[in-house]
Structure 1
């Protein structure tokens, strides 16, 4: 059953500083992106791929809302999913103890567990890079924090080929994955706080499609 799950984001003054979970993707792809964007505040236009991705996200969200058969709070959805499978798009999640927040592309809740799905463009090889996996782990981490301590159902991380129903990678969000994403979150906090030096990409194939290519002093290639 498709449903709309209400879990509003609180932007009131006095909130802790959050890292956006999507920054975990940037951390693996090129940390210097974060420096230019979040530290220096460099403003550049979105790339065509980013514009296309945003439009596709909006289309899927609108389609999901049109098909929604019910509305729940997050707590109600978790309870109902013990007997009825539920799917919802663009669910806001956060973990204040780790200072992370973001929006899950699609969350599937069912009696056997929870599946966190992130839509990504996937090439012909179907390869899913660590950067994409790390971002999904971040969503899983925030979701786990929002669930009751006695919730026993497992969480699965998954990447789906954008514009399709094809899951190209999935993995249990286990202790190993949780420890890994905790280390990455700690590193990103250290980067933003100025305690750790940003590393830049060393491969030209990463630099060419980057939206900061024209203004980056660390870019590789012409």
Structure 2
């Protein structure tokens, strides 16, 4: 695992993982499964991999995956998850503060699921780096919350939720080199931690880089 210098964001997320049990379900994100199931396995980069569910799912389908997170504790959990799933030999783990540092190399799939944070994150720069890391013929998949869940009457903190067009404008991908394959807001049923039934809306961007 590769480690970088600490930051306020790193301290926040490390404390979140370190001071409690698992934060996530251990299942891959549904929109990753929907969008990536038809892709031929190659090299994948999973940004903000957390406890590794997406990376493990990709590895189980034949991808060689590099998982990146800001939290060392999250990466250690992800490595254990991969080992327990029998795909530890197909996964590497690197610690980066996205927007400041980024993995080297190019990838056939760059997966960025919910790169959203209550503490400072240079999201735009991270996504631009993500696009540059896509190999010719490869895919960039971004999924982000489009707003607060339906049951959230008072936002717990200030947040800017990126729009579909806003992210495309931020990426500024040349039309001659990229094809937009998915540009969609998806509503899905969710239940709040207090048991309230409701929904969330997520924005999905899937873009494919030309072969040359």
Whose RCO is larger (CA < 8 A, sep 6+)? 1
TM superposition score normalised by structure 1:
0.29
TM superposition score normalised by structure 2:
0.30
More strand by share: 2
Structure with bigger gyration radius: 1
More helix by share: 1
